Amino acid sequence: MSFAAIDLFCGIGGLTKGLEQSGIKVVVGIDFDENCKYAYEENNNSRFICRDITKLTPEEVYTFYPEDIDIHILAGCAPCQPFSKYTQRYRKNGYKDEKWKLLYSFGLIAKKILPEIIAMENVPELLNTNVFLDFITELKSCGYSIFYTVAFCPDYGIPQNRKRLILLASKLGDISLISPTHTPKEYLTVRDAIGNLPPIAAGTSDPKDIMHSATALSDKNIKRIKQSIPGGTWRDWDKDLQLKCHKKNSGKSYPSVYGRMSWDAPSPTITTQFYGYGNGRFGHPEQDRAISLREGAILQSFPIDYKFINSDDIFNRRKLGIQIGNAVPVRLGEIIGKSVIRHIRRCAYGQERDNVRTN
């Protein structure tokens, strides 16, 4: 049976790359951010379409599928900021964010074109929202079998302590995510992922890779990171280096800020500001700097040679950090793809189980 996918909210192509690695052809990726076009098309055998999902009709989306396929797959990750812990905790009106509408737009497109399989990735906090309940209610009313779970990324070979909500829906029958591919003893670590990259200093770049670039640090932050130990906190510093907020009771609940990663454990969740030493536990395990853009991308399971920037483009660290931090980890996209392919084979050929472990 032939199949192909469309990737909504595709960004720079993390989900598309993972689906491709699993064996699923992605015909187009759609995103409203034109800045994602270069990385998306340079690294994937797919076409980037710059459109606002809320202004794209289901009929237009359906025309992107090849006419001769049996199985239509609709995949995507609506921007997750409105559903994140940060937004819900610090923005009283976070629920009014315009991006909430994007999941409704996803649901509308799915309801109108009725693809055989739907795959969605997002933050776990989405589970506690009405928009998610509405989404799955609509899918069930259209005859879909629904599966969703919160996946722990290290269980699937991603060197990052990230939790993500995975939803799979099928009109072919019951569907589920494949079993974890790694046990805790097999978790990939920071050392496994970035331990072999060339050393660089804060404020410098690898001459062979502009993405292996580290943010400059002030003299005081250089002193702070020199006193930081892997897995430690700002409490390891001399008193004169601690910030005023650290000395308040409210600051004592954020020990990871200005922390170093540990070599022999998965990294913390890579956010859109992972390149800043003071934005979380983003200090390199032994070099006196924050992790580089390339290191953050590798911890997001992007291939080491993934191209993010055209040589003619202006280097914009903030833009690149947002693109990388917002991306679906490539390996997670691959796991989703393998789960979909297993499901299609079982439905088509009656296979009850895989013959080999899916690594």
Cα–Cα dist 37/39, whole Å: 6
CA distance 259 to 228: 7
First-to-last alpha carbon distance for the chain, in angstroms, is 24
Rounded CA-CA distance 305/308 in Å is 9
Contact assessment for residue 294 and residue 270, using Cβ atoms and an 8 Å cutoff = no
Q: For strands 47-50 and 145-152, give the pairing.
A: unpaired
Tokens of 37: 């076009």
Report which residue type is found at 38.
Y
Give the whole-angstrom CA distance, residue 143 versus residue 107: 14
Give catalytic residues, as residue numbers: 80
Rounded to whole angstroms, the Cα distance separating 344 from 145 reads 13
Q: Which helix (H) or strand (E) holds 354?
A: none
